[in-house]
């Protein structure tokens, strides 16, 4: 049986050093005029979830979508401010995710209409238990589109590693068992279009594959 989350799925922005550097000029502009001090989160609502092997519909009028390859933490116990220092013990497992979105320029308050379209989150078929996953800082992920390598992601380049990210999120909100927290997506996210097959591979994880299909429009 293919895995689907039992709680809320949270995405994280600006958690790769390359992404921070690329968007640094925007951070100095209004309305914030500074880099964020806490993790920047958004929700991938349940309507976005697609299992491994599912076909994901690209809406009419959207020529390409952005592939957001990442690995996420599945939570097994409440993560709160008073438990922040031991938050890493609250990870049950890790799972591959393809956080698709319609390309957009601003990182401020990610718009729902770009990130929460139906089916726009590919989810790995089976999470990898935390006790078998090893150090998350050693995770490496490859993105292939139609068999061609298009991106390599190294999680040693995180701004906040898995433990620090959990602790910092726990300082301002509670994560509950079954919730899922992504580690973030790096710069250089490839674009894909209807007809493309997207494969995410990481050592120890089962491959996550999804195919994009064009929305059928009635004449």
Q: How would residue 38 be classed by pLDDT, with cut points 50, 70 and 90?
A: confident
pTM: 0.92
Q: Which structural domains are found in the chain, ordered by start? A: 9-214 (3.90.850.10)
**pLDDT over 70 (residue 82):** yes
Query: What secondary structure letter does DSSP report for 171?
Result: T
Using 50, 70 and 90 to split pLDDT, how confident is the model at 73?
very high
Q: What per-residue confidence (pLDDT) applies to 19?
A: 85
- Amino acid 31: pLDDT: 65
pLDDT at residue 30 greater than cutoff 80? no
pLDDT tens for each residue of 147-189: 999 999 999 999 999 999 999 999 899 999 999 999 999 999 9
- Please check the confidence at residue 198 and state whether its pLDDT lies above 80: yes
Mean pLDDT of all residues belonging to the chain: 91
pLDDT above 80 (res 211): yes
**What is the helix (H) or strand (E) element at residue 188, kind and residue range?**
none
pLDDT at 56: 98
What pLDDT is recorded for position 107? 58
Distance CA 151, CA 184 (A): 14
Residue among 99, 106, 104, 124 at smallest CA distance from 114:
104
pLDDT at residue 23, as a whole number: 73
pLDDT tens digits for range 104-149: 766 555 567 899 999 999 999 999 999 999 999 999 999 999 999 9
Percent of residues, the chain, with pLDDT higher than 90: 74
Distance CA 189, CA 69 (A): 8
Residues 169/110, Cβ–Cβ less than 8 Å: no
SS (H, E, C) 26-82: HHCCCCCCCCCCCCEEEECCHHHEEECCCEEEECCCCCCEECCEEEEEEECCCECHH
pLDDT of residue 87: 73
Q: Return the pLDDT at 41.
A: 92
Which residue from 184, 183, 202, 187 is spatially nearest to 139, judged by alpha carbons?
202
């Amino acid at each position: 049986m293919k895995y689907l989350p039992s709680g809320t799925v949270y995405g994280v922005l600006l958690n790769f050093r390359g992404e921070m550097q690329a968007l640094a000029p925007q951070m100095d502009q209004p309305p914030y005029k500074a880099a964020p001090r806490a993790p920047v989160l958004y929700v991938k609502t349940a309507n976005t979830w697609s299992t491994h092997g599912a076909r994901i519909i690209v809406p009419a009028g959207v020529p390409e979508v952005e592939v957001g390859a990442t690995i996420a933490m599945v939570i097994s116990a409440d993560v709160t401010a008073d438990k922040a220092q031991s938050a890493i013990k609250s990870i049950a497992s890790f799972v591959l995710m393809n956080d698709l979105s319609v390309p957009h320029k601003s990182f401020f308050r990610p718009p729902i209409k770009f990130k929460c379209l139906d089916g726009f989150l590919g989810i790995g078929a089976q999470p990898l238990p935390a006790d078998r996953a090893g150090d998350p800082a050693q995770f490496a992920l490859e993105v292939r589109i139609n068999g061609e390598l298009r991106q390599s992601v190294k999680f040693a380049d995180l701004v906040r590693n898995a433990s620090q990210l959990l602790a910092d999120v726990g300082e301002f909100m509670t994560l509950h068992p079954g919730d899922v927290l992504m580690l973030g997506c790096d710069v250089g996210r490839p674009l894909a279009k209807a007809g493309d097959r997207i494969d995410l591979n990481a050592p120890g994880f089962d491959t996550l594959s999804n195919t994009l299909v064009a929305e059928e429009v009635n004449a």
